[in-house]
Amino acid sequence: MLIVIITSIILYYVVTGREKNEIVLSVASPDVDLQVNRFHYIEVGKGDTEWVIDADTAQYNKNNNIAQFDAVTIKIIASRGQRYTIQGKSGLYNTETKNMELKGDVVIRSNKGDILTTDSLRYTDECGCLSTEDSVRFENENMELTGMGLVYDVNRAQFSITADVTAVVKRGMR
């Protein structure tokens, strides 16, 4: 499906006549089947959840079904109205398993003002879980939590920090 989307994007730019000096497609190495600059992808998944992936660069290797992203931003719009923006320096997406991994200054922001920061984050499609073994910091208007490791069940909207938890309740919390 990702190949079809990427091919469609390339054809769109060719047909609409982009400027001649603007490079849309380039091959970076023998391991890369396709490279797209200013990548934009939308997918409606389980339960009408919409995923929007933007990246400075996307590379795809069809032999191992891996898309690699640089400077990636993912926007998730859940059917229950929750909205999340996830950013990282780089990411890997397995087009077969639908699993994803982000690395480097990962930040998740919710439409309710929650912010979670960590060094890396994995999404496992089979269980609908986000996880990391790295240090995490969760903050909203009422509290601040820090610790090591995180497991977040996307379907239940529940998370746990797995070790060394420190909690600070902010003044005015009811």
What 3-state class would DSSP assign to 55? strand
Return the closest-CA partner of residue 117 out of 94, 145, 141, 138.
138
Task: Tell me which amino acid residue 8 is.
Answer: S
State how far the Cα of 12 lies from the Cα of 145, in Å rounded to an integer.
46
Per-residue confidence (pLDDT) for residue 2, from 0 to 100: 53
Instruction: Report domain extents, the chain.
Output: 2-169
Per-residue confidence (pLDDT) for residue 27, from 0 to 100: 47
Per-residue confidence (pLDDT) for residue 17, from 0 to 100: 46
**Does residue 23 contact residue 116 with C-beta atoms inside 8 Å?**
no
28-78 pLDDT, tens per residue?
Answer: 566 778 888 999 988 887 666 788 999 999 999 888 999 999 999 999 887
DSSP 8-state class, residue 170: P
Per-residue confidence (pLDDT) for residue 21, from 0 to 100: 45
Q: How many CA atoms lie within 13 A of 33 on its CB side?
A: 12
pLDDT tens, the chain, 174 aa long = 555 455 455 544 444 444 444 545 554 566 778 888 999 988 887 666 788 999 999 999 888 999 999 999 999 887 777 889 999 999 999 989 989 999 999 999 999 999 999 999 999 988 888 999 999 999 999 999 999 999 988 777 788 999 999 999 987 655
Per-residue confidence (pLDDT) for residue 154, from 0 to 100: 76
Architecture per CATH, domain 2-169, reads as Sandwich (2.60)
